Each structure stands twice: as C-alpha cells, then as structure tokens.
C-alpha cells in the first residue's frame, strides 16, 4: 500500500489503513495501545469523572426546561447513564486491557448519548429542542477527552446522531426548521470532531514511532558503546599480558612499579622486588625444542601464581626471566615468598610433549624502605646483582641484596650447589 502523503512520514510508513490508523504489525499495534493507555489513562478517568458530574448536573435543566417530564428524565440520567459511568470509572482502576478500556469508555459515551435521546423522546416541546446541545457535548468528550481511537469515536458520534434523527423525525417529531438546523450543527460538529480526533491520533502514533525509533537507536548506541568499551579493555588487557604465560608483561610491570612506589611513599610502607631466572633453560630449548621450552615457561608461570601473595604482581620479564613486585613487603617477607617459589618449582615435575622434566630457578631479591631514596632503577639493579650472585653461588637458591651488596638469604633452607642438576641432566637421568 502506498503511504498516505497527508500523514506524518513515520506514521504513513507504518500503517495499513490510513482511515483506521492501525499499524500493519499487530504486535506493534498492541504495543502502541498499551503505551497510549499508560499515557492517557489518568486524563481519561478525569474526563469521565467530569462528564459524570456534568451529566448529573444538567438534571437541574430538566426541572427548568421540561418540568412535566423531569422525573422520567432523572430516572434516565440517574438510573442508567450515571451508574454506567460510575461503574466503568471504578472498574478502570483494575488490571484492564486497552481494548477493555476503550470498549467500556465507549459504552459510557454511547449510554450518555442514548440517554439524552431517550429524554428527548419523552420530553414535551419546545423544551426538547435544546437537548441537541447535550448530543454535541457527548460527541466532544468522545472525540477529544476520553482517549478513544478516531474510528471508535467517529462511529459513536454518528450512532448518537442517527438516534437523534430517529427521535426528531419519528418518535417525537420536531418542526422541520429545528430538525434542519440541529442536523446542520450536528453534522458540522461531527466533521470537525473527526478531523480533530484524526489529527490527534495520527500525531500520537507518529510520536510513538519516533520515541520507539529513538529508544531503539539509543539501545543500539549503548550496545555499540559497550562493545567498544569491551574491545578497548580487551586491547588494553592484551597490551599488558604476555600471550605465552598469561602473566603481566614487562611494560605493565614497570608501570605498576612506578604506581606502587608512588603509593608506598605516602605512608610508612616497604616495597620489594624478586627477579627470577630459570637455570640452564637454554639447554632445554636446544635439547628438547622450543615447544617443550614453552610448556616449561607456562608451568613455571602457574607455579608463580600459586606461590605469591594476594596483591603481588608477577610478570614475564623477558625470555626465561620473571619478576615479581611485592608491595608492602620488606626484604624478609620477599625472601619467604622467593624461597616458597624456589622450593615449589624444584619439587615439581613439569609435563612436556617429550616427557616430564624438572627445572630450578635462581632468585634475586631487593627492597626499598621509606628511608631509602625511591630509586627504582637502583632497586632493580640490586635485585639483578643478587640474581647473578645466586647464579655464581651454584644456582637453585634465593639471594638478597642489602646496602647495595648481594648477600645470601639468611635463615632460609637453600639448596647446596651440588644438589642442583640442570634440566638436561635431569632429563638424561
């Protein structure tokens, strides 16, 4: 169906029938009705309450215009129309569907119009001539205030008009001049009301589509932003993670070292570093191949994770070398962590594609205190010097640096040089 050029573009592209203004998609139509009811239900209830008050209040006019038929008129007003309105108003506060609300509010409008028609049918003339104004008020409420759809309000208005004609021409015939003038006003009012109701509903539906489009675009934008943020975080994670061992890389280690030292100088705290190097690792690669060497590095990284404290930061420093940052740890605490790690690794058989293998590690430890100059480069240099001292002392041991000179860790069970064998020697054995 070609869109109606006289409708707002979003609405013209979404409806099936430009007369009924129904959406082509039944689910979309139901969603609109629910959303529209949520927006207008309070207004519709207030309009219905106002209509009930006016309808009852016009009973005073019955006394003035048709005193001889006032009791019949009151029985119609207060025995039919007003009770129907009150009942519908009360029931509208329950869990009702949009279709039920529209039908029940339409029933009130129809009851009000037919009630006036019944009063006109029994009222003596000329008092009954002026009651056509009541028909117009009922139609106005249906077109603008009760929240009825355009098609529903239009049908009700013309049904009430037809009821008026039946009364005015046959049931209680009125002078032709009165019928013609009333008909002219009634038809004119209905046409104006239909145009107003059509415009209100078409723009209400267009606004609904615009809001839905905005909400969908907003949701897509939020989803896109979340995806971008997730990818950014993933990229940042990849940029600071070593892909082989899943430990932090050297770059992230130095950034965390700077951060930890800056935080550490704010309160009396200590900062320590462990530098680790696998013993004879080159022989592993040369003899068993790089695939086995990678498996050894992955297993060593796993042992490091289990050996350090919560809050410690481990990284792959380069090749077979690792480093661990220990915030709020003095040298003794660092030595304990290092010895635990050395002992765990020495006791572990590492599975590889070529069979199990044992490797050992040499560890250098260094520490800063608040009394020291926060020279991070010097801290790492001292840890490196302690590492090389451990290598020279026979490997498979933890060595500490104090006062710029490396010393063997005291009070810790360190393996003797002749107790350690290289990875290749272990494999051959």
Render pLDDT for 47-85 as a digit per residue (tens, 0 to 9).
Answer: 999 999 999 999 998 998 899 999 999 999 999 999 999
| Predicted pLDDT of residue 425 | 37
Alpha-carbon distances, residue 276 vs 32, 95, 339, 391 (angstroms): 67, 71, 11, 11
Mean predicted confidence (pLDDT) in 340-367: 93
Alpha carbon distance 308, 100 (integer Å): 68
Instruction: Give me the residues paired with residue 318 across strands.
Output: 321
- Tokens 């041991």: give the residue: 397
pLDDT in tens, 78-110: 999 999 999 999 999 988 889 999 999 999 999
Instruction: Give me the residues paired with residue 315 across strands.
Output: 248, 323
The tokens for 34 are 């629910």
Position with higher pLDDT, 213 vs 339: 339
| pLDDT band at 417; cut points 50, 70, 90 | very low
Least confident of 24-28, 158-162, 313-317, 423-427: 423-427
Tell me which residues are annotated as active site.
Answer: 320
| pLDDT band at 419; cut points 50, 70, 90 | very low
| Predicted pLDDT of residue 370 | 63
Q: Residue 194 phi/psi, 5° resolution?
A: -65, -40
C-alpha Rg value of the chain to the nearest Å: 45
Would the pLDDT of 326 be above 80?
Answer: yes
Would the pLDDT of 208 be above 60?
Answer: yes
Mean predicted confidence (pLDDT) in 40-45: 93
Report the CATH superfamily, name and number, of domain 250-428: Reverse transcriptase/Diguanylate cyclase domain (3.30.70.270)
Tell me the domain boundaries of the chain.
Answer: 9-218, 250-428
pLDDT in tens, 13-22: 666 578 888 8
DSSP letter assigned to residue 248: B
Could you give the 3-state DSSP secondary structure of residue 360? coil
| pLDDT band at 415; cut points 50, 70, 90 | very low
Mean pLDDT of the chain, nearest integer: 85
């Amino acid at each position: 169906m070609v869109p109606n050029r006289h409708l707002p573009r979003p609405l013209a592209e979404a409806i099936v029938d430009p007369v009924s203004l129904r959406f082509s998609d039944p689910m979309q139509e139901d969603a609109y009705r629910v959303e529209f009811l949520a927006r207008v239900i309070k207004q519709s209830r207030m309009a219905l309450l106002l209509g009930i008050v006016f309808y009852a209040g016009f009973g005073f006019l019955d006394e003035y215009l048709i005193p001889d038929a006032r009791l019949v008129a009151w029985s119609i007003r207060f025995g039919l129309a007003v009770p129907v309105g009150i009942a519908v108003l009360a029931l509208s506060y329950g869990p009702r569907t949009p279709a039920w609300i529209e039908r029940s509010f339409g029933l009130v409008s129809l009851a009000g119009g037919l009630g006036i028609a019944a009063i006109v049918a029994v009222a003596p003339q000329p008092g009954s001539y002026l009651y056509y104004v009541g028909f117009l008020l009922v139609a106005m409420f249906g077109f603008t205030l009760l929240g009825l759809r355009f098609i529903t309000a239009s049908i009700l208005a013309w049904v009430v008009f037809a009821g008026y004609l039946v009364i005015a021409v046959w049931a209680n015939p009125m002078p032709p001049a009165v019928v013609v003038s009333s008909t002219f006003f009634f038809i004119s009012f209905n046409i104006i009301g239909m145009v107003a109701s059509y415009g209100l509903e078409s723009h209400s539906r267009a606004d609904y589509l615009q809001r839905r489009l905005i909400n969908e675009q907003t949701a897509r934008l939020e989803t896109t932003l979340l995806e971008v943020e997730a990818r950014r975080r993933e990229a940042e994670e990849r940029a600071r993670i070593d892909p082989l061992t899943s430990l932090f890389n050297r770059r992230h280690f130095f950034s965390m070292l700077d951060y930890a030292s800056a935080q550490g100088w704010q309160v009396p705290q200590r900062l320590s570093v462990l530098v680790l190097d696998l013993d004879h690792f080159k022989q592993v690669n040369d003899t068993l191949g790089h695939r086995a060497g990678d498996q050894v590095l992955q297993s060593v990284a796993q042992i490091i994770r289990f050996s350090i404290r919560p809050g410690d930061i481990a990284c792959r420093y380069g090749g077979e070398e690792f480093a661990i940052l220990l915030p709020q740890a003095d040298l003794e605490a660092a030595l304990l962590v290092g010895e635990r790690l050395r002992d765990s690794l020495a006791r572990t058989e590492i599975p590889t594609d070529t069979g199990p293998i044992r490797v050992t590690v040499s560890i250098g430890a260094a520490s800063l205190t608040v009394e020291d100059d926060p020279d991070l480069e010097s801290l790492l240099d001292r840890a490196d010097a302690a590492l090389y001292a451990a290598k020279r002392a026979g490997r498979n041991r933890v060595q500490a640096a104090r006062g710029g000179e490396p010393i063997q860790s005291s009070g810790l069970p360190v393996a003797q040089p002749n107790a350690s064998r290289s990875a290749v020697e272990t494999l051959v054995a």
